[in-house]
Amino acid sequence: MQLTDDVLDRWEQIVKEVDKEHVPVECIGKVVFSLEGKKKKTINFKTLKRQNLTVDEIDQLVQRYIEDNEETIRNMEFILDVCAVAALVEPETNKLLKGIK
């Protein structure tokens, strides 16, 4: 499904307000780890998906990284994939709103 720039802009605003504690892996664009010594490590989910890794494989990769580096990880930030969120939610939203008009 192709989404217009206007729709993506609206979803960008919505996504910024989302509590990112419980987000499906399918909706994550990347995760940024803040490490000791002001270092950062980014795992880019979009790139891994383009390399044909499955959602389960990506999840395992992240879990393994966390386990292997738990002593040095200070923080994790999930960056959502706005296109994936919009593509997942927009059709259902449209169905719901269609009956209201």
Closest C-alpha among 23, 22, 5 to residue 81: 23
pTM (two decimals): 0.69
Decide if 17 is inside a domain.
yes
Q: How many domains does the chain have?
A: 1
Decide if 100 is inside a domain.
no
Give the whole-angstrom CA distance, residue 77 versus residue 92.
27
Decide if 98 is inside a domain.
no
Decide if 52 is inside a domain.
yes
Decide if 101 is inside a domain.
no
* Residue 32, strand partner residues: 42, 77
Pair type for strands 40-44 and 28-35: antiparallel
**Which residues constitute the domain of residue 26?**
5-93
Which parts of the chain register pLDDT below 70?
1-3, 11, 14-22, 96, 99-101
Query: What local confidence, expressed as pLDDT, does residue 13 receive?
Result: 72
